[in-house]
Amino acid sequence: MQWLRKVDHNIFVWCNQRVNHFVLDWLFGLITHMGGASFTILCTILIIWLAPNDWGSVGLQILAALTFSHVIAVIIKKKMRRIRPFRVLQQVRVGRFPLKDYSFPSGHTTAIFAFVTPFLFLSSQGVALLLIIFAGLVAFSRVYWGYHYPSDCAAGGTIGMGSALLVVYLTNITG
């Protein structure tokens, strides 16, 4: 376990302190918010209301996946109580909106993976790959800005994708 913590810490330091450029600051400043509740819920509602046929049902799957994954993430956060890296470590670059809750798992990463996963079943392989890369960039941005350790984002991605896969499976066998 100590080895895993050291790897997690070393990757965090590399992402947060070694990778540093004003263009990345701007890019990851924008991308990091795309995993937030405002963005994912607003986009989901727009998809449900405006998208045709299959896409509207994907919107409902996303809404269910966001809800389910959020409940799981909140329960784990309250149980694990992992302090955010910018509150524990020295010389951490932190984004504009330092958060006060716990870091494990990453809620933004959970949400973005819950959001993109149902689209994977309606998309070509190329689009699916781009969606996964996009979700991965949101996760990376959370570490880049000092909000999360890499393991927080790995757990969040797993919870988000797992929740969405379960919702898609259940809606396909019942629908």
Instruction: List Cα–Cα distances, 14 to 9, 18, 74, 109, 133, in angstroms.
Output: 9, 5, 28, 19, 19
Looking at every residue in the chain, the average pLDDT score rounds to 92
Please compute, for residue 11, the number of CA atoms within 13 A of its CA located in the half-sphere on the CB side: 17
Residue 175 has what pLDDT?
63
CA atoms within 13 A on the CB side of 107: 22
- pLDDT above 90 for 62: yes
pLDDT in tens, 91-129: 888 887 777 889 999 999 999 999 999 999 988 899 999
- The pTM is what? 0.93
Whether residue 153 is predicted with pLDDT greater than 90 in this model: the reply is: yes
pLDDT at position 152, please?
98
Could you give the percent of the chain with pLDDT greater than 70? Answer: 99
Q: Mean pLDDT over residues 50-74, rounded?
A: 92
